[in-house]
Each structure stands twice: as C-alpha cells, then as structure tokens.
Amino acid sequence: MSKTASLLFGVHAHQPVGNFPEVLEDAHQRCYKPFLETVYRYPEFRFALHSSGWLLEWLFTQHPDDLALLTEMSHRGQVEFFGAGDMEPVLAVIPYRDRMSQLAAMSDRIEQIFGQRPRGAWLTERVWEATVVPALVDSGIEYVMVDDYHFLCAGTERERLNGYHSTEEDGRQLDLFPISEALRYRLPFTPAADAVAFIESQAVETEHAAAIYFDDIEKFGIWPETYHWVYEQGWLKNFIEGVLNSPSIKSVHFSDYHAAAPTRGVVYLPTVSYSEMGEWTLPAPAAQHYAELVRVAQEAGVLERDRPFIRGGIWKNFLTRYPEANWMHKRMLGLSARLASLPADQVRQDLVELLHEAQANDAYWHGLFGGIYLPHLRRAVWRALINLERRLDSLQTRPAQFSGDIDMDGIDEVFMSSLSLQAVLRPDKDASLIELSSYPLAQNFADSLKRYAEHYHGKAGSGVSTPVGEGIASAHNVVRFKHEIKPEDLIPDSRSRGWFAETWTDFDSKRPVEYTSTVVQGGAVLCMGQAGDGKEATRIAKIYSVRDNRLTVALKSVGNGRLSTRLNLAMPSCDGPAGRYVVNGEIPGGFGQTFTWNELKELTLEDLYLGAAVRLQTNRPARIKVQPHFTVSQSEAGFEKVMQAVELSLTWEAEDVTEVQVRVDISSLG
C-alpha cells in the first residue's frame, strides 16, 4: 500500500453582526471574492465552508455573483457546507432551546440557498463544552471541528489525531475532528511548497490517514500582508496545484471521509477552546502568570510536551472579567426566558431573529479577536435586546419598577421604565446607572466600557516584530500600532463608567461619594451616601426618576465644598464628524474634543448618525467639562485607541444644604 493522506480542508467565514459596511466590503474585495474565484478554477479541489448567517445574508444581497459561484460549486460536488448557530453564538452560553433554534436557522438557510443540509458544524471559537452535544445531535449534526489541542488536553496521543473520534453526552453520540495546529500555523504563512510538503509528510501506509485543516478564511487576504502573499504572489493557486499534483495527497470532503473511515475510538474532552483563548480569558495578573509559565516551559524545551497541561481559563471567564459583557449576557438570558414563556401563537419569527442577533458572540469577549472593545458591535447587541424587549412588552406587560439580581453579583439592580425609556441602577458604592435605554431609538446610552488593565499592555513599548525566515508573520506574533499609545492611556479605571458617579471636594481633598443604602419610594429611587468618615463626613442623597423620555436626577449635599457628578454617554458617532455639542445655539465642536464651560445650565449632544439629541439641563449653573473616554486594546491590525463614550463632569459649589437637579431628555432630531 502506497503512502497517502486525505486532506480535509475547510474555512470559516465570519463578520460580526453590526460591523461597518465599508469593513464588509473591504473583506469581500481582499478575501471572499478572490478566494472563491481561485478555488472555483479547480473543480477537483474539495473544500468545506462555514459562513455565519449574517455574513451569508450580506453576500446574498450585496454580492450575488459570489453566491452563484458557491451554488455551482455545490452542484458539482466541490464544496461541503458546515452548519453552526445562525448568528454565530457561543453555543455553550445560550440555553438548549436557543441552541436548537440557532442551529436549525443556519441549516435551513444553507439548504434553501445551496440545496445541502449540513452534516458537520463549526463551533464558534472552537469553544467546547460537553453540554452542547445534545442540541447538536438533536438538530441533525453528526460531526464537529475542534482543535487537536482539545484532544491533547485529554491526554490523547498525537499519532492518533489523523482521524475523527467519538464522544457522547446524555445518550447522544457526536464525532469530533481534531484540527491540526501545525497546519493552522503553516497555512497560509509558510511558502506553498513547504505547506504541501508538510501534508505529504503526514501520509502513512495505512488507510484513512487524514491531514485536517479548518480555520478562518480571513487569514487568506484580510490579515496584514496576506492579500499580497495569497493572491498577488499566488500562494493559494500554488498550494491548490501542489495538492492536486501530489501523488500522496487526496483532496476529500469531510462527509466522504466520515462515511468511509471508522472512528478512532471514544474520547471525552475537557471544557476548553484553542490555546490562545486560555490566556485571553484570564484577568491581567493571572494572564501574566500564565505567560510566564509558558515562557519558562519554552526556555526549558518542554513547551510542546507540557502546553496542554499549562491551561488558562475558559471562555465563560470573559463574563467575570467584564461586567459589561455579563450584563448584556444576563439581560439576553432574561429576554430569552420571556420569549420562551409566550404562548406558541405569539412567538413570531422576527422575535426569534432579534434574540439570535443578541446572542452574536463578538461583543461579549476580547483577545486578539473578539469585540467587546468595539462600541458598534456592543451597540448591535443592545439594539437587538432593546427592540426585542419593546416587542415583548407589547405582548406581555411587566411592572414599571422592579428589582432583581439579574447579573448574579449579589446586588439587586433596580429597573425604572416608561414607554420610552428604561434606567437600571446598580445600588453599589457608586449607585450609578448601568443602563439607560431608549426604546424608540433602540440605543443604550450607558453602554460604555471601563479602562481595564490588559495583560498585553506591557507590549505597548516593545516595538514592531519582524517575520523570521521565509513567508509572512502571523498576527499572533507581530506587535503593531494603529495609534500612538502613551503611559497615561493605560491607567485602569478605579470606578465605574456609568451615569452619575459623584465626587466631593473640600479643603483640597477629593473623595468619592460612597452610597450605602437604596430605597424605592413610589416612582423614584433614593440613594443615601457620604464622602469621608466620622464627624467630618459629608452626607449626600441622590434620587432617580423616569417619566416619558426624561430621566431626572436630584442631588442633595450637606456641607461646604464642591459636588461633582460624572456621566459617560455612549453616542454612536463617537469621535466621528456626525457627533457635536450645542451650547447656547452654537456648535463649539465634536465629541472627540475637550471643552470646559463655566456657569452653564444647558448642554445638548446631537448625534446625526443616530438621528437623536441628548439634552442636559440643570436648575443651578454648573461647571461642565466634556472629553472623550478612550480605551486601549489590540486586534490583528495592532494596538488602537477606541473612543467608548463622551465623559461629562458637572460641578457645583456647595454651601450648607445644596440641592441640584439634572434633567436628561432624549429625543429624535427633526
């Protein structure tokens, strides 16, 4: 028997729900279009494709020629389509009922467009938990892709990773293909001939040996340097021709291999994702410790052997790292439960689709990828959540005011709502609003993000690395800068970035106001707190109320000093040209600038992108300072500063007993 290897080659195409049209179009021109046109010229080259439903819908409406190519390749048996959750959720963090509806929506979409019903599925970010097995099997999925790293973490020998294994959960069997990390890091970054030679090296004189690859299609054109390398220099063309001309490589579909080859045996995998995710999901101190363990193992020459056992955290840790992500997630779960409780005749498809959009994974996490740092991705989730809640309220009434520990932090949040506005107070020391959602505008104006310490911030001064040897560098190994990063940009926040966090200043001593009690009184919420301790403490009271499209906040202080409050307004225009301030009928500038006004009683923020205005009025003139709130994060394109919110600080001189009131009106422009 001659030595052969079956090449099982698949690509995963995804764009986050809510991504900018120009980003989608750029991805199409640099990746999706040239990739499809290239593989189309080689009918004998078998490949698998998974595309998230939102991206597939965009291609269907904006670039039907791409869909026509895919349809023809499907009819001639060249492409195998993989299913998944339709809006690319992490299946492990949504309920079983939503896993089923997401999987069914994706499979129905593929079958309707291409005439195939998927047998295989892509797991978002390769996040594996055994609890997802029942929904996958119940929806008709026979096999999924995970990393070989998953198997190594379970102690599986490397030589057994050239085929699929089987697992079970709650009486359902699912087969698992291990993706070769060695191939993931070679394709397309090493020369095509070297990549083909590596696949040939996997050939053995036994039947059913497989080289398994399934990774992001965006590496073929969107990652830095890859468009020139993959298409202009012909890497993909040379790779495909090398595969087809090799006597020891067979280009095979996953489905055909699965039907012909027996399982390599039973396996039970731990809860895990790819190895980089284990580092990204840890808090900064723990991530630094993890990185140090990896470094020591690497220097000792045992990293390859020990890395499966030097594991970091799991994907769900992002919900503990970022309270903003946890709040979105728990609000989503609450609305999912409300939707599930409706009578069957009231469950409409548009409600299900909104829930699916709210479960899109990108805005819930962060690493080299992930998008919690990107306001437009969080905004897409919030837009779906708010629209869904508004429609559910029309079918299923709820109290205008209620409390409950929604985010599982041990503190009951207080919800205050009208037909137009919902404010959510977290009664912690700041007693600030963590949500201020406008139903007509489908916008959460409190959707900001704190400045966190990230473990990679230490790389900000390390400069730019260069590729080693032939080929190009992976984005995992390169430090780039989209913006200048200064040390002060990396200082983490010590307080929340919600609405109305107070500070008291006297005798040049500046202290945060800490609230210790919250009382619901009629339609308002009273918060009692103080700045300082003992007899010198300054007492502060704060009252929130919501009516129609107006939020009113009253502050009362007892003492002599300065009372300040800080608001962080999430405005969709950020520092773009569509966001501007209006003061006394004049436009001094935009949200990306810093201004200070003395003795001001009214300030309007107009967002032309949103088509809305936020007007603040105070009963006493205030010193108002506005400035952009930036965070520093990294992506495959490099370090960047991202504007999260407009930070407003209002300050009043206080003597004896001082009462101030701030009214916030939110309305559409025009």
Query: Known catalytic residue: 125?
Result: yes
Long-range contacts of 421-426 (CB under 8 A, 24+ apart): 421/546, 421/548, 421/549, 421/550, 421/551, 421/666, 422/389, 422/546, 423/544, 423/546, 423/551, 425/518, 425/525, 425/527, 425/544, 426/496, 426/498
Active-site annotation holder among 108, 194, 216, 276: 216
SS (H, E, C) 210-232: EEEEEEEHHHCCCCCCHHHHHHH
DSSP assignments along 439-462, one per residue? TTTTEETT--------GGGGGGGS
Query: Known catalytic residue: 216?
Result: yes
Which amino acid makes up residue 628?
P
Our CA angle for 128, 132, 134, nearest 5°, is: 145
The SS3 call for residue 563 is strand
| Residue 478 and residue 465 in contact, taking contact as beta carbons nearer than 8 Å | yes
How many other C-beta atoms can be found within 10 angstroms of the C-beta atom of residue 268? 10
Q: Which of 245, 248, 168 is nearest to 203 (CA)?
A: 248
Cα 549 to Cα 75: distance, rounded to the nearest angstrom: 54
Identify the DSSP state of 129: -
Q: Which of 175, 159, 257 is nearest to 208 (CA)?
A: 257
Our CA angle for 289, 295, 301, nearest 5°, is: 140
Q: Which of 559, 578, 587 is nearest to 654 (CA)?
A: 559
Residue 119 phi/psi, 5-degree rounding, is: -105, -25
Q: Which of 28, 117, 41 is nearest to 73 (CA)?
A: 41
Active-site annotation holder among 125, 413, 502, 647: 125
How many other C-beta atoms can be found within 10 angstroms of the C-beta atom of residue 280? 24
| Residue 438 and residue 421 in contact, taking contact as beta carbons nearer than 8 Å | yes
**Cβ neighbours for 8, distance < 8 A, ≥ 6 positions apart:** 48, 177, 210, 211, 212, 213, 214, 252, 253, 254, 257
Please name the helix (run of DSSP H) or strand (run of DSSP E) that holds residue 110, with its range, or none: helix 96-114
Q: Please report where in the chains the tokens 């090449």 appear, as a residue.
A: 7
Cα 443 to Cα 641: distance, rounded to the nearest angstrom: 23
Residues with catalytic annotation?
125, 216
